[in-house]
């Protein structure tokens, strides 16, 4: 039995049309038999209900679904009620985060570190939930340095996290050195690489700037060269990401978490290239 975990992440769509499209994507990706889906949570509160509704809908359709959760914009009573609702529905996995607050909300919202949320969930619900947390092979942008960032990651583990999912990266060495550093720092939970397929260079470049994920120069140069050739870029992106995933898995990564961006095509091709449906 393969103990590695493979998952797909969705975000709650803002429109009915978006939700219908996502339903079709969910159906297609379900056929690949991932271990779970996860659904992001707007820390400013924008997608709070959307997250819960989507999680419960796909859970009722038979998928294992892990809601993302954060304190941002949610008080403890509300969070307690949400945890209880998930528990009652049979949800037993969470991805707990500080969240990124939209500008203008910061000071007013309940801006608390993820380690506090892990401790809160453990205090309220004991061992009911498997708790995933986020971590950063290329360092979180708010962090003073590598060592303090790993120190804060360890606080989440000490508070009760069971496993972690990384921010995306395109340099497998960043992941290998990070895992090694974490192990030496006493972190022994599985650290699953977060994988971002490449479908839109402009959006990827902008988002990577804000979240601190590096697009290596050689890759930037190649991607820029595709210009308006969306299909060519997508195919090349599949090749690059498949090769990186192969390297990660061959070197013992404990699974892969795909940031699907609510799209099925690229992740399905990468999945098939890796023959992940054939795993025992
Ligand atoms: P934390 O672990 O709290 O860390 C945040 C920053 O504070 C880091 O720089 C850390 O080093 C520092 N820090 C931690 N503890 C302390 C302390 N005690 N004192 C001082 N500094 C400290 N965002 C969303 O809004 N919704 C989502 O659903 C979502 N899903 C995500 C899923 C994954 C797998 C990943 C990798 C990210 C996701 N994000 C999401 C983005 C995430 O919320 C941001 O990266 C956010 O800025 C940090 O969240 P965190 O949980 O890692 O925070």
Q: Which CATH architecture has domain 5-278?
A: Alpha-Beta Barrel (3.20)
Q: Whole-angstrom Cα distance, residue 8 to residue 152?
A: 26
Mark the ranges of the chain whose per-residue pLDDT is less than 70. 43-47, 101-111
116 is a catalytic site residue:
no
Q: Which residues contact 165 (CB under 8 A, 6 or more apart)?
A: 95, 132, 133, 134, 135, 192, 193, 194, 257
Beta strand 130-135 with 93-97 is: parallel
Ligand 1, pocket residues at CB < 6 Å: 40-41, 43, 68, 95, 97-100, 113-115, 134, 140, 142-143, 149, 152, 156, 165, 167, 194
Distance CA 219, CA 237 (A): 9
Domain ranges across the chain: 5-278
Q: What is the pLDDT of residue 1?
A: 79
Per-residue pLDDT tens for 38-80? 999 986 555 678 999 999 999 999 999 999 999 877 789 999 9
Place of tokens 């159906």: 27
Q: What was the pLDDT predicted at 226? A: 97
Q: Which atom of ligand 1 is nearest to the CA of 142?
A: 9
pLDDT at position 42, please? 82
How far is 274 from 255, CA to CA, in rounded Å? 12
**Which ligand 1 atom lies nearest to the CA of residue 153?**
2
- Please tell me the distance from the alpha carbon of residue 198 to that of residue 235, in angstroms, as a whole number: 9
C-alpha 280, offset from chain centre = 24
Backbone angles phi, psi at 267, to 5 degrees: -65, -35
C-alpha 99 – ligand 1 centre gap (Å): 6
């Amino acid at each position: 039995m393969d103990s590695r975990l493979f998952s797909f992440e969705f975000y709650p769509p803002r429109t009915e049309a978006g939700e219908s499209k996502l339903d079709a994507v969910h159906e297609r990706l379900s056929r690949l038999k991932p271990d779970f889906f996860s659904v992001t949570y707007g820390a400013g509160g924008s997608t709070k209900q959307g997250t819960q509704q989507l999680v419960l809908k796909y859970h009722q359709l038979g998928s294992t679904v892990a809601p993302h959760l954060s304190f941002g914009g949610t008080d403890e009573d509300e969070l307690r009620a949400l945890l209880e609702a998930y528990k009652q529905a049979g949800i037993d996995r969470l991805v707990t985060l500080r969240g990124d607050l939209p500008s203008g909300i910061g000071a007013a919202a309940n801006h608390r570190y993820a380690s506090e949320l892990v401790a809160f969930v453990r205090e309220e619900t004991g061992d009911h939930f498997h708790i995933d947390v986020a971590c950063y092979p290329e360092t979180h942008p708010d962090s003073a340095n590598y060592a303090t960032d790993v120190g804060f990651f360890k606080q989440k583990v000490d508070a009760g996290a069971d496993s972690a999912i990384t921010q995306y990266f395109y340099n497998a060495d960043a992941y290998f050195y990070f895992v090694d550093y974490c192990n030496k720092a006493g972190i022994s939970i599985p650290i699953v690489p977060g994988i971002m397929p490449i479908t839109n260079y402009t959006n990827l470049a902008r988002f990577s700037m804000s979240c601190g994920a590096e697009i290596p120069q050689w890759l930037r140069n190649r991607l820029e060269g595709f210009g308006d050739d969306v299909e060519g870029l997508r195919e090349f992106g599949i090749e690059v990401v498949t090769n990186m995933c192969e390297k990660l898995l061959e070197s013992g990564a404990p699974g892969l978490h795909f940031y699907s961006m609510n799209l099925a095509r690229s992740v399905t091709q990468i999945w098939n290239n890796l023959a992940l449906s054939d795993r025992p």
